[in-house]
Structure 1
Amino acid sequence: MVLSILGHPRISSFLRKTRLWCKFTNFEDLYQVLPNYFEEDFWNQCLKECFQWETDKNPLWKLVSFYDSTYPKNLKEIYDPPLVFAYMGNLGLLQSPLVAIVGTRKSSPVSLTATKELVRLLSTNKSLVVVSGMALGIDRQAFLSALEFGIPVVGVLGTTLGMEYPPGNRDLYKRIKEDPNQLLLTEFLLKTEPAKWTFPKRNRVISGLADKVYIMESGRKSGTISTAYSAMEQNREIYVFDHPKQFDNEGGKLLIRQGAQRLFCEIETTKEEGNVLEMSYDEWRKNRTIPFELGRDGGWDLKITL
């Protein structure tokens, strides 16, 4: 049997439209009936392409199908889970509590600094894993901070495992690939170029894997919004960081108006600023308060409580 057939674009599209996969409890039974729904030549061509991919793929790449016991429980519960995904690294991370940290590529200095502080506070939970999308900006900062503070990471790709996109993150890819305790995964098996349609699909997986989703900065038209809306549909907890010195957080403000919780409880300004901005964050209200400075962003003294 060719497990990667579940990841062939034409076959997976058919399965999603018909939801035929829901009628089976194992891949073997589904595999036996699938040929009945396609013309023989078409089916054989798809099989040939997938078999060739499995033969030529990097031996470090493994496959997990929806029917496997190692398939992550959270992801299995969403409406449109990947029927198969390829991964390299420590698959066991998907059995740990996961939090998603995402945001715009064009992130503000204050959001990058807040991301690092959030990860530092989360690092007190030794069993936690950070999941994000391997993009520049917030995603990159979340992973760099996680690696710095000893938190494992799960990078979800909008391309195949063989493509390191964006090129600006090649150093991050290298660090993750060389560490067997990290994980990269994707539902795109056959050659797939980065495109507008691939990233919303990736984003639903990011939120689907996580218990909580932290939005650190998002414009109204940012791809981060698609992650947030996926998280809403999946009934995930959503927290939004909002700050006056962000470049563009209109999407984040919209999410707060729609009921998302604010991240970080208070911001104290210097005397010259003269204003105090109150924020609420109830999740870890019993934990400590840790002050830190954002000197490169105009002298704000943030006192963050998680």
Structure 2
Amino acid sequence: MTDTQKIYELWLNDINGIGGATCKQLISHLESAENVYNSSYKELISIPNIGEFLTKSILNAKNKLDNAEKELKLAEVNNTRVLTYMDKEFPKRLKMQKDAPYLIYVKGKAVGLNASKNIAIVGSRAATNYGHYVTKRIVEKLSEIPGVNIISGLAYGIDIHAHRASLEYKMGTIGVMANGLKSVYPRVHQKTVNEMLADNKSGLISENSMLSLPDAPKFPARNRIIAALADVVIVVQAKKRGGALITADIANSYHKDVFAVPGLITDPLAEGCNNLIKYKKAHLFSSIEDILTEMNWSRDSNSSNQMSLFQKNNLTAIEQKITKIIFDHPLQIEEIAIQTQIPLPKLASLLLQLELKGVVKLKAGNIYTLN
């Protein structure tokens, strides 16, 4: 995508009252952000669900193209890439969610955005030494599983310890920010951010413009991106209410697997985790084996992201079952679910894993076929 196209994308994304879903709807009808910019009142008002208010907002924003140009230059000066959902690099897991942003900013290599296995580790900002210890132990054990990348929010407590442990054990880690990527928040985490940006697999992402400051509404919005990027969310320590529980709730709404580390019933920092388990909103986490069993993941160090049909013995039994069915007949996900008797949310996750490994691909008509 050219710089000119990016400018129009940034312009569209910045219009007041227009979110990710509306941006995608406009693009689906008009094919590009530049065409949206050049559209007339009559063309815009004729698009389903684009009423009078949004039409006028778009038309009134046409004098703000210079702002988008400045934003792109600011991103480039700060070594930040601008990705829309049409870009190949845009995270596949994020693209699957209806409330995904239309556009994100990415800093660093951030190869882990489309890693074969993404695990989010979140928890209280007021985490104890025990919480820090558990987080480090979890990351250490996850480092033994090929292809795992760690997602978190760069906040105080569990988040920053998850990032630091990931770097220590040579794993990719992605920090999802609630502010623009021009600055680091909290500032005291700048050293860790520098290490993440220097790592080939790690980096930062945000849906907020470069100069955006963190405010209360941005944190729950940030949490939905953490949940969307992850295959699994692990909550280590959490009070009765807090951001980690918001992330867990969103992950459940996305049909992601959530695990919670249990704690003492007298410990306020364990109340959130214990309630997640109690009300069946999370699996009890006692070891990495819990995740391997639930997700059908293997410890096989020979697994590859470029598997071919002739290497399918490296797949888990359930992945081989899906592959065999698709080999016989390319099918839609609902048909695969009927034949395998795998629930749709779980099957969607498994098919995504196979897609990331290069085994299957999604074609027009939502039909899965072998790659």
Taking structure 1 as the reference length, the TM-score comes to: 0.80
SS across alignment from 2:246: helix
Which residue identity lines up with residue 85 of structure 2 in the other structure? F
**Is the alpha carbon distance of 1:27 and 1:145 closer, same or farther for their aligned partners in structure 2, counting shifts above 3 Å?**
farther
Structure 1 residue 95: deviation in Å?
1.7
Instruction: Identify the match of residue 115 of structure 1 among 135, 145, 157.
Output: 135
Whether the 8 Å CA contact 1:75–1:209 is kept in 2: the answer is yes
Q: Secondary structure of 2:205's match?
A: strand
* Equivalence for 2:292: 284
Q: Does 1:248 align with 2:251?
A: no
SS in 1 for 2:183: coil
Find 1:164's aligned residue among 161, 169, 184.
184
- Are the structure 2 counterparts of residues 92 and 28 from structure 1 closer, same or farther at C-alpha, using a change threshold of 3 Å? farther
RMSD (Å), alpha carbons: 2.6
The answer to whether the aligner puts 1:44 opposite 2:62 as a matched pair is: yes
CA distance in structure 1 between the partners assigned to 2:179 and 2:292 by the alignment: 35
Question: C-alpha separation between the residues in 1 aligned to 2:58 and 2:255?
Answer: 41
User: Deviation string for 1:146-168 (max 9, x for gaps)?
Assistant: 11111110111000001110122
**Identity score, percent:** 23
**Deviation for aligned residue 1:249:** 2.1
Who is 1:258 aligned against? 279
Q: Distance in 1 between matches of 2:110 and 2:30?
A: 20
Letter in 2 for 1:252: C
Distance 1:5 1:107, change over 3 A: same
Q: Which moved more, 1:245-254 or 1:188-197?
A: 245-254
Per-residue CA distance 1:26-53 (angstroms, 9 max, x = gap)? 9853431255423677313332211111
Q: Which residue is equivalent to 1:216? A: 236
Tell me, in whole angstroms, the C-alpha distance in 2 between the residues paired with 1:174 and 1:39: 39
| Secondary structure in structure 1 of the residue aligned to 2:291 | coil
Decide which of 80, 93, 103 is 2:99's aligned counterpart: 80
For the 8 Å contact 1:7–1:188, the answer to whether it is kept is: no
Unaligned runs of 5+ in 2: 41-54, 300-371
Match of 1:298 in 2: none
- Secondary structure of the corresponding residue to residue 150 of structure 2: strand
Q: Give the direction of change, closer, same or farther, for the CA distance of 1:39–1:137 in structure 2 (3 Å limit).
A: closer
Residue 24 of structure 2: aligned partner:
21
Deviations 1:243-298 (A, max 9, x none): 22855222212211221101116xxxxxxxxxxxxxx973336999xxxxxxxxxx
Is 2:13–2:23's contact at 8 Å kept on the other side of the alignment? no
String of CA shifts for 1:178-199, please: whole Å, max 9, x gaps: 3343111110014211111001
Of structures 1 and 2, the one with the larger relative CO (CA 8 A, separation 6+) is 1
1:1-306 mapped onto 2 (5 Å cutoff): 1=5, 2=7, 3-8=9-14, 10=16, 13-16=17-20, 19=22, 21-22=24-25, 24-25=27-28, 28-34=31-37, 36=40, 37-38=55-56, 42-57=60-75, 58-96=77-115, 97-244=117-264, 246-259=267-280, 260-264=282-286, 282-284=290-292
Residue 208 of structure 1: CA displacement? 0.2
Answer yes or no: is the 8 Å Cα contact 2:240–2:268 preserved in 1: no
* 8 Å CA contact retained: 2:263, 2:274: no
* 3-state SS of 1:254 partner: helix
Is 1:263–1:281's contact at 8 Å kept on the other side of the alignment? Answer: no
Which ranges of structure 1 fall in alignment gaps of 5 or more residues?
266-279, 289-306
Counting helix residues as a fraction of each chain, which structure ranks higher? 2
- SS of match in other structure, 2:67: helix
Instruction: State which drifts further: 81-90 or 170-179.
Output: 170-179
Q: In the comparison of the two structures, how many residue pairs are matched?
A: 271
Task: State how far apart, in whole Å, the 2-side matches of 1:287 and 1:203 are.
Answer: 28
CA contact (8 A) 1:262 1:281 kept: no
**SS of the residue 1:218 aligns to:** coil
Whole-Å separation in 2 of the counterparts to 1:81 and 1:201: 10
Provide TM-score, normalisation by structure 2: 0.67
